[in-house]
């Protein structure tokens, strides 16, 4: 009976860890850079005579799977970025910390609404022009 209990405990412990393999380790610098969105143009909220142009690149992990996922979801990502940028007021877009705020908001958008398997670890804004 004691052996049966031990065997049963080993089986339950094994089942508890089934599928819980550790993620492959990788350095942030090994992760791929995604810059396939092109120029994103939007009108700020409440202002029809102004235009905002933004270009964004994202460092995506894990290197291969994350890049494949973000590439598949490029249209969804661009749509959500347009929604985010169009909701910004002119005052928000002139804030001295606007780039840092936008980087954080884009990172949260990508990780919370777009990617399920991958993760954006860095956001680079390579163009930001309001005119």
| pLDDT tens digits along 32-49 | 999 999 999 999 999 889
pLDDT tens-digit readout, 66-105: 999 999 999 999 999 999 999 999 999 999 999 999 999 9
Q: What is the pLDDT of residue 68?
A: 97
Specify whether the CB–CB gap between 60 and 78 falls below 8 A: no
pTM for this model (two decimals): 0.79
Q: Is the pLDDT of residue 17 over 80?
A: no
Under CATH, to which class is 23-130 assigned?
alpha beta
Distance CA(78)–CA(54), nearest Å, equals 11
Buried/exposed 89-101: b ≥16 CB within 10 Å, e otherwise = eeeebeeeebeee
The DSSP line for 43-102 is PPTT-SS--EEEEEEEEEESHHHHHHHHHHTHHHHHHHHHHHHHT--HHHHTSTTHHHHH
């Amino acid at each position: 009976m004691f052996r049966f209990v031990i065997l049963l405990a080993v089986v339950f412990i094994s089942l508890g860890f089934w599928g819980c393999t550790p993620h492959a380790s990788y350095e942030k610098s090994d992760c791929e850079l995604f810059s396939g969105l092109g120029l994103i143009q939007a009108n700020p909220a409440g202002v029809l005579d102004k235009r905002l142009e933004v270009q964004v690149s994202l460092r995506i992990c894990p290197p291969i799977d994350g890049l494949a996922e973000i590439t598949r979801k490029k249209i969804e990502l661009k749509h959500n970025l347009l929604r985010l940028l169009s909701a910004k007021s002119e005052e928000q877009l002139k804030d001295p910390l606007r780039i840092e705020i936008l980087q954080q908001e884009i990172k949260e958008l990508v990780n919370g609404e777009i990617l399920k398997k991958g993760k954006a670890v860095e956001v680079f804004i390579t163009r930001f022009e309001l005119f």
